[in-house]
Amino acid sequence: MATRYILALVMALAVMMGLQMAGVFRIAGIVYREWSLKNVERGDVDALKWSREYLDSDEIQIRAAAASSIGTIGQADQATIADLINKVDQDVPQVASSAAWSLGHVELIETEGDRTAYQADVVAALVRALSHQDSEVRRYAAYALSNYGLRGIDASAAIPALVANLKDQRMGYMAARALGDMGARESAADIAALLEGAPWHFQQEAAVALSKLQPLSPEIQSQLESLMKENKEVREVVEYSLQINQHVSR
């Protein structure tokens, strides 16, 4: 009888150790895959097939890392871009925000046909993401639209949604940045409303955005100059932004 109990105890311990080891191996596998995805190189299109495959992983952090890796690579085919849009629309916030970030960075691999048609689908997806319940998804959607502006891609369809998000306490500053980078002069008055009474980082982003939307109305220009005179940090970031803009435009 005692021998039977001892054998049962040994078997139970073996099962527990086996389960623990399986858990350790599983975690190690997740960590390795996540590390590999985070260390892809720009232009490494051969890695795309793995990134796309891992978009369907059961692990949230792997799906998020896979989505981000596509943006790091910077190129994708139509099907992969469609997958990213699907992740923005339907996946959990951690994955959706990573996919939104990537959409702002990728360009189409295909060299034939209309190489810009996908951009309208991306902008539409990012506009939908601007009304997402999670603030990080909204923030990364605005960031991606900002990147579209810097790349000279037409994202004007997103202007109303970005203006509506300017008062969002969690990501309104990013909406202001996007509007400035997109050259949305019609939003200048809405952005200028952030110059007074808003948190300091909102004021900085609003001031930089307005510096990109010249010429401003006399009232807004006066408001901007007044803030720059009173706030050294705002003045410095605006001056730095102007220097960068002048360098890029040469």
**All structural domains of the chain:** 26-182 (1.25.10.10), 190-249 (no CATH)
Q: How far apart are CA 85 and CA 151, in angstroms?
A: 19
Contact partners, residue 247, CB within 8 Å, separation at least 6: none
**Intra-chain end-to-end CA distance of the chain, in Å:** 90
**pTM (global) more than 0.95:** no
Planar angle of CA 57, 72, 239, nearest 5 degrees: 135
Planar angle of CA 161, 166, 170, nearest 5 degrees: 110
Q: Would you write out the chain's pLDDT as a tens digit for each of its 250 residues?
A: 566 667 666 676 666 666 565 554 456 555 656 666 767 888 888 889 889 999 999 999 999 999 999 999 999 999 999 999 999 999 999 999 999 999 999 999 877 678 788 999 999 999 999 999 999 999 999 999 999 999 999 999 999 999 999 999 999 999 999 999 999 999 999 999 999 889 999 999 999 999 999 999 999 999 999 989 988 888 888 887 766 665 444 4
